[in-house]
Amino acid sequence: MRFEGTKDYVATDELAAAVNAAIILERPLLVKGEPGTGKTELAKQVAEALGAPLLEWHIKSTTKARQGLYEYDAVARLRDSQLGDDKVHDVSNYIKKGKLWEAFTHEQRPVLLIDEIDKADIEFPNDLLQELDKMEFHVYETGQTIKAEVRPIVIITSNNEKELPDAFLRRCFFHFIAFPDEETMEQIVKVHYPDLKSRLLSEALQTFFDLRTVPGLKKKPSTSELLDWLKLLMAEDIDPAVLRERDPRKLIPPMHGALLKNEQDVQLFERLAFMSRREGS
């Protein structure tokens, strides 16, 4: 099992090396990076490349570690007992499997995505230490022990909203997806839009990277925003020349709404466009 990126996903050598090390050593891989650099997508692509099933566990601020293992629905049992349902005698009828349970007992080695782990409570990762380390846990209500025969490939993403505990970090491999350089970005765009005219692409990429270097931008546009923008440019069949517009009344490039998501940034963009116009003249 080796991961090299897929036809839809450009993985740098470093990323591929980290993924493969995590697969071979059967340890979780923690992925961080700017929003929109393809952290969540990575798990999907790894699953696809390896032909493995993908289990996704999306973490919210209210998610508890327990829910990943199993949940015991005591309320349903109480209700059933009042209705005289026979199910009530077997407690396992009220145990709902969590994503980790599913992953541990899957017949084929799955890829388990734990998405945005930093959204949860600060203690959340600590509560999963043993479970991710030993890949087993105990079900108190039924006395079962669930143990993974084949350790799933675990990919964890974080947006850095909270610092993760050291004990947890020590057990993971870590990769930081840096923002792609221009070369990699060109590859990424080509993967998504193979028919894009190269002139439009280079003009658009230049505008995009210029824009990212504007100091003080509230939110820098990310890869996914670039892709959306290009899609719009293509759909509207924009002439590349328009991106180099010299007419002061049309300083802002077409469809800028896909790139810039707030008013102050649009004003900054105007300034940039004004400057590049002066450069050109």
Partner 1 sequence: MTPLFHRFFTGLRAAKIPVSTREYLTLLEALEKGAIDQDLDSFYAVSRAALVKDERNFDKFDKVFAHFFEGIEALGAMFKADEIPDDWLRAEMRRHLTEEEMAALKEMDFDQLMKTLQERLQEQQKRHEGGSKWIGTGGTSPYGHSGWSPNGVRIGGESKNKKANKVWETRRFKDYDNERELGTRNLKMALRRLRRFARDGAEEELDLDDTINATANRGYLDIRMRPEKRNAIKVLVFFDVGGSMDPYIELTERLFSAASSVFKNLEYFYFHNCPYQAVWKSNKRRQSETTSLMDVLHTYPADYKVVFVGDAAMAPTEITHPGGSVEGWNEEAGGVWLRRIAETYPNLIWLNPTPENWWPHTYSVQLIREIVGPERMFPLTLSGVDRAMKELAKK
Residues that bind partner 1 (CB under 8 A): 13-15, 17-18, 20-22, 24-25, 27, 29-30, 32, 74-75, 77-78, 81, 122, 160-164, 166, 169-176, 178, 215-216
Closer of 107 and 183 to partner 1 (Cβ) = 183
Nearby residues of 252 by Cβ (< 8 Å), 6 or more positions away: 266, 269, 270, 273
Closest CA to 207 of 140, 279, 272: 272
CB of 160 to partner 1, least distance (A): 6
In this structure, the chain runs to a length of 281
Closer to partner 1 by Cβ: residue 15 or 95: 15
Rounded Cα distance between 139 and 200, Å, is 58
Decide whether 218 or 246 has the Cβ nearer to partner 1. Answer: 218
Q: How far is the CB of 1 from partner 1 (least distance, A)?
A: 11
Q: Which is nearer to partner 1, 73 or 149 (CB)?
A: 73
**Which is nearer to partner 1, 102 or 133 (by Cβ)?**
133
Residues 6 or more apart from 35 whose CB is under 8 A from it? 159, 222
Whose CA is closest to 194, among 168, 143, 230? Answer: 230
Specify whether the CB–CB gap between 120 and 60 falls below 8 A: yes
Helix and strand tally (H, E) in the chain? 13, 9
Q: How far is the CB of 38 from partner 1 (least distance, A)?
A: 16
> What residue type is 86 in one-letter code?
D
For residue 82, list its beta bridge partners.
none
Q: Which is nearer to partner 1, 22 or 238 (CB)?
A: 22
**Distance of alpha carbon 196 from alpha carbon 237, whole angstroms:** 10
The CB-of-216 to partner 1 minimum distance in angstroms stands at: 6
Residue 82 CB, nearest approach to partner 1 (Å):
9
Tokens of 20: 């493969």
Least distance (Å) between residue 11 CB and partner 1: 11
Strand (E) or helix (H) holding 190: helix 182-192
Residue 114 φ/ψ, nearest 5 degrees = -105, 100
Taking the least distance from each CB to partner 1, the nearer of 27 and 277 is: 27
The full DSSP string for 120-131 is: S-TTHHHHTHHH
